Amino acid sequence: MSAKPINIASGITAALQDVTKTWTKQRKAEERGRSSRARRWDRMVRYERVTIRDAAFRLMEDAYMKASDSGRLPTRPRQVMYAARPQILELTDKQVLDDRYFTQTLLPNFIAENPGRCSSWDIVWDARGHFTEPHSGREIALGTMEVRQYLGLRATPTDVVSVDRDILFPTHGPEHRFNVVLFIEKEGFGPLFAAEHLAEQYDIAIMSTKGMSVTAARMLLDKLCHRGLRLILVLHDFDVSGFSIFGTLGKSNRRYEFTNDVPVVDIGLRLDDVEARGLESEPVDVSGWRKRQQTLKRHGATPDEIAFLKDRRVELNAMTSRQLLDFVERKLKEHGVDKLVPDDTILERHARRLVEQRLANRAIACFAPTSPSVPLPKNCPTICVRASLTCLPRTGDFRGMPHSPKRFTDTSEGDRARKATPASP
């Protein structure tokens, strides 16, 4: 029986395809997306290496301390990531670190596995959803600081009759309170600014969004300009989106037409800020570059900035909490932002209001000692429970209670009063 002839051409083709299939797959991925090129080495070379997880866990504590000013300030997960990323990439010999993997997996896992070391960490996570109370309708965002504040609330008895004890002059809007708004393209920095009382130090309002400004934000700024707002300082990432956020904030579009001239000023990040602070940049794949280039130029980017942003970007999160606070304060001072002092007429009105409050509280205090001697109906608990369960299912109020303690003496009369009281809508 003769041997089957060997097809040399087919054999060579099959061998080459087998040897180069990994490379072919990699090249096709790079053709579809430029970011795949940065991962070429990891996919093509096999060797014993330190994993991302091992490196992150080794560096996590030092990164947190750097981002939070040695634990003295609140910090965000991405700030911790930026503090750790250079060393993680160096230890793992990689070029890219997935920020979502770090902030949503590695950091929470490290905290869960090291409760003792992380018990005092103050990491502020973005709000994702809302929580609403029954009866009161109180709504809170499900973010770190909002939940902390909500859990710290306790119901306390209050005076039946009282006056407003707020020592602040009653205002609603910018009048006598602020004339500058700090606009930030990210949410989550509020706790950091609150920790240093930034708004109170400079009498500024702080507005934050997730990305491009929404119609409600534009309308609010437009209306406040009519009431004395003189300056809107915009803080943004150094990237194509950041310039677009600044450039469109005060411009009319098909969804909203401004009626006032909105004084919008760009305070960075800009290339000079990045270079002066040695902030870390990261690679980015910008699609439709020719159009993006025109957008950058239209919104005030310099030729050097446009060249930089073609394939790189820098986030605000690249700064530590202390760096960011110092940066913002310097920008506020550069633009002449200072305390807003009301005129003498308003100050006099406020002083007289404080005197009136003090006199009113003294008068109320004279009657307070007599309240324990007022008789209550014998079936008071029954009336309270029934009123709260049947008359007021949504408010939790006790409006079904009798106004006069002598009016009800037995349960039947309490029942008649309950039935006569209309339920809340």
Has residue 134 been placed in a domain?
no
Do 279 and 412 belong to one domain?
no
pLDDT band at 133 (very low <50, low <70, confident <90, very high): low
173 pLDDT above the threshold of 90: no
Has residue 411 been placed in a domain?
yes
pLDDT band at 420 (very low <50, low <70, confident <90, very high): very low
Q: At what angle do helices 240-249 and 215-225 cross, to 10 degrees?
A: 40
Do 318 and 197 belong to one domain?
yes
Residue 370: predicted pLDDT: 65
Do 294 and 388 belong to one domain?
no
Task: Report whether 49 contacts 42 (CB < 8 A).
Answer: no
Do 49 and 194 belong to one domain?
no
Domain end point (choices 118, 135, 158): 118
Whole-number Cα distances in Å, 272 to 55, 269, 304, 385: 32, 8, 10, 67
Do 385 and 330 belong to one domain?
no
Has residue 15 been placed in a domain?
no
Has residue 371 been placed in a domain?
no
Mean of the pLDDT values across residues 349-367?
82
382 pLDDT above the threshold of 80: no
Q: Under the phi-then-psi rule, with left for phi > 0, alpha for psi from -120 to 50, and beta for the rest, what region is 338?
A: beta
- Within 8 A by CB and 6+ apart from 327, the residues are 268, 273, 277, 319
Mean pLDDT of the chain: 79
| 220-242 pLDDT per residue, tens | 888 888 888 899 999 999 999 99
**5-9, 111-115, 157-161, 304-308 — which is least confidently predicted?**
157-161
pLDDT band at 402 (very low <50, low <70, confident <90, very high): very low
Measured on CA atoms in the order 56, 58, 63, 65, is the torsion positive or negative?
A: positive
Residue 154: predicted pLDDT: 46
Has residue 2 been placed in a domain?
no
Do 222 and 314 belong to one domain?
yes
89 pLDDT above the threshold of 80: yes
What Rg, from alpha-carbon coordinates, does the chain have?
Answer: 32
Do 185 and 320 belong to one domain?
yes
Give this prediction's pTM: 0.66
Has residue 19 been placed in a domain?
no
pLDDT band at 41 (very low <50, low <70, confident <90, very high): low
**46-55, 360-369, 406-415 — which is least confidently predicted?**
406-415
DSSP 288: S
Q: Establish how many alpha carbons lie within 13 A of residue 82's alpha carbon, considering only the half-sphere containing its beta carbon.
A: 21
pLDDT band at 210 (very low <50, low <70, confident <90, very high): confident
Has residue 313 been placed in a domain?
yes
Q: Percent of the chain at pLDDT above 70?
A: 74
Residue 13: predicted pLDDT: 75
pLDDT band at 160 (very low <50, low <70, confident <90, very high): very low
Do 192 and 286 belong to one domain?
yes
Mean of the pLDDT values across residues 293-314?
96
Has residue 11 been placed in a domain?
no
Residue 244: predicted pLDDT: 95
Residue 215: predicted pLDDT: 79
- State whether residue 93 is helix, strand or coil: coil
Alpha helices in 299-408 (DSSP H): 303-308, 321-334, 344-367, 380-386
Mean of the pLDDT values across residues 170-183?
78
Domain end point (choices 78, 93, 118): 118
Residue 339: predicted pLDDT: 87
Residue 59: predicted pLDDT: 95
Do 284 and 223 belong to one domain?
yes
Residue 68: predicted pLDDT: 95
187 pLDDT above the threshold of 70: yes
Do 199 and 320 belong to one domain?
yes
Residue 246: predicted pLDDT: 95
Do 78 and 217 belong to one domain?
no
Q: Give how many domains the chain has, as a whole number.
A: 3
Do 203 and 305 belong to one domain?
yes
Question: Which tokens go with 300?
Answer: 């005030």
| 65-82 pLDDT per residue, tens | 999 999 999 999 999 999
Mean of the pLDDT values across residues 327-336?
96
Domain end point (choices 118, 138, 162): 118
Residue 168: predicted pLDDT: 63
Q: Which domain holds residue 112?
A: 29-118
